[in-house]
Chains A and B, each alone.
Chain A
Amino acid sequence: MKIAFTATGKDWDAMIDPRFGRTEYIVIYDDSSNKLSVIDNNEVKNEAHGAGTATSQRIFELNPDILITGNGPGDNAAKALEQMEMKIFVGAQNLTLKQALEQYQKGRLKEL
């Protein structure tokens, strides 16, 4: 299973980025290989308009099974994510990626 996190850093100790559209990094965890891959989202973050839609497209290309984030996507991004039927879990702000994964596994994160 592939899990995507919105993150402010590149490893398990990095904090979840509470935002979606202007998240700094998208970190993908593949549980079959137990590996993390990091996508730098700074270019999108710097877009004047439509950061949410641009980030959604990146998620589409990465094709994770679920997305874990903080406050949740704004209206525009939500539309795209819905189109992809992406499972989104929110409420992970102020946690590290590692903690967020644990909370998800314990069923403590809210599904949108």
Chain B
Amino acid sequence: MINQQPFKLTIASGKGGTGKTTLSTNLAAYLAEHEEVVLADLDVEEPNSGLFFNGTLVHEEDNHNMTPNWDESRCTLCGLCQDVCNFNAIIQLGTSILVYPKLCHSCYACSELCPENALPMESTKIGTLRDFQMGKLHYVESQLNIGEEQAVSSISKTKRYVANKYDNISIHIFDSPPGTSCPVMEATKDADYVILITEPTPFGFHDLKLAVETMQTLKKPFGVVINRDGIGDDEVANYCKAKDIEILAKIPNSRKIAELYSKGELIYPKFPEVREALDNILEHCQSIKEGRTV
């Protein structure tokens, strides 16, 4: 029986600006020429993928965090809530209890331990999820409101939305935030395969090593795409070879590509080398996918 679960491909990188969004948008659009695809932008602080598409808004909803709400009528000012909170998200100022939803990690400790049930948990809006459609491409983006800290909950919410709404679409592509901290862990932990995209420069190399460590910690299968190939040196390529890391594709360095990107345009329609790179990537993903079904 062939496994019908959607294949989850996540594009990540250690360093920002190496081409995650360029790759995810071009890959998604390319695939969407022939089949239904979902692209979700999980870089909730600075989602950019949508700038490359002209889709129609199909659905919009709030992203929430559950946070405690002070019910003054029940409170005896015992101060246990402040004591219990490890994040300074609740403080007692005289006869008032102040809650800081932005600092709340939604652990529910204060709410559930309050002897008077004076802190029921309620939804606070922290951002917005938008779902767009352009032909066969479905594009989902979540944007965190400025000043909100809890990226992880937005990311997991977006993943759940995609999993529920698009379980009939066979490939889900996720654009991860850059770096290696918790939002990246959340974005990549459920992936079937992760592509780490980097540039062949000292910064790209250094940050790739951090990203590789992250993938190894999460035990995720991954491969590397080298973007702006030719601009720097061979350190990245040599490293991948030495560590037996698959290089899925190399996208050439080109000022013309940079110019196209700056206009918010897709690259592959005008660059056969990029198209070829995308083909290589998709072929590799297909073999991973089939490996699963055997």
Instruction: Report if A and B touch in the complex (beta carbons < 8 A).
Output: yes
A49: chain B residues at CB < 8 Å are 86-89, 103
Question: Given the complex of chains A and B, what is the CA–CA distance between A48 and B89 in angstroms?
Answer: 12
Q: How far is the CB of B42 from chain A (nearest CB, A)?
A: 23
Residues of A within 8 Å of B, CB-based: how many?
16
What does the 1/0 interface line of B87-102 toward A look like (CB < 8 Å)?
Answer: 1110111101010101
Chain A binding surface, main DSSP class:
helix
What does the 1/0 interface line of A35-65 toward B look like (CB < 8 Å)?
Answer: 0000000000001111101101100100000
Query: Are B94 and A53 touching (Cβ within 8 A)?
Result: no
Q: How far is the CB of B29 from chain A (nearest CB, A)?
A: 38
B272 contacts the other chain (Cβ, under 8 Å)? no
Q: How far is the CB of A1 from chain B (nearest CB, A)?
A: 20
A75 contacts the other chain (Cβ, under 8 Å)? yes
Given contacts A49-B89, A50-B100, 19 further A-B contacts (CB under 8 A): A47-B88, A49-B87, A49-B88, A53-B88, A53-B89, A53-B91, A53-B103, A57-B92, A57-B93, A60-B93, A75-B102, A75-B147, A76-B100, A79-B98, A79-B100, A80-B91, A80-B93, A83-B98, A84-B93
What does the 1/0 interface line of B133-158 toward A look like (CB < 8 Å)?
Answer: 00000000000000100000000000
Q: How far is the CB of A42 from chain B (nearest CB, A)?
A: 15
Using a CB–CB cutoff of 8 Å, the interface residues on chain B facing chain A are 86-89, 91-94, 96, 98, 100, 102-103, 147
Query: Are A53 and B100 touching (Cβ within 8 A)?
Result: yes
Query: Are B93 and A50 touching (Cβ within 8 A)?
Result: no
B98: chain A residues at CB < 8 Å are 53, 79-80, 83
Query: Are B91 and A56 touching (Cβ within 8 A)?
Result: yes
Q: What are 13 A-B pairs at a CB distance below 8 A? A: A49-B87, A50-B87, A50-B89, A50-B103, A51-B88, A53-B103, A56-B91, A56-B93, A57-B92, A60-B94, A76-B103, A79-B100, A84-B93
Question: Given the complex of chains A and B, what is the CA–CA distance between A97 and B93 in angstroms?
Answer: 27
Question: Given the complex of chains A and B, what is the CA–CA distance between A14 and B89 in angstroms?
Answer: 31
The chain A residue sitting closest to B105, CB to CB, is A49
The chain B residue sitting closest to A80, CB to CB, is B98
In order of increasing CB-CB distance, the 8 nearest A-B pairs are A50-B88, A49-B87, A53-B88, A60-B93, A57-B91, A50-B103, A54-B88, A76-B100
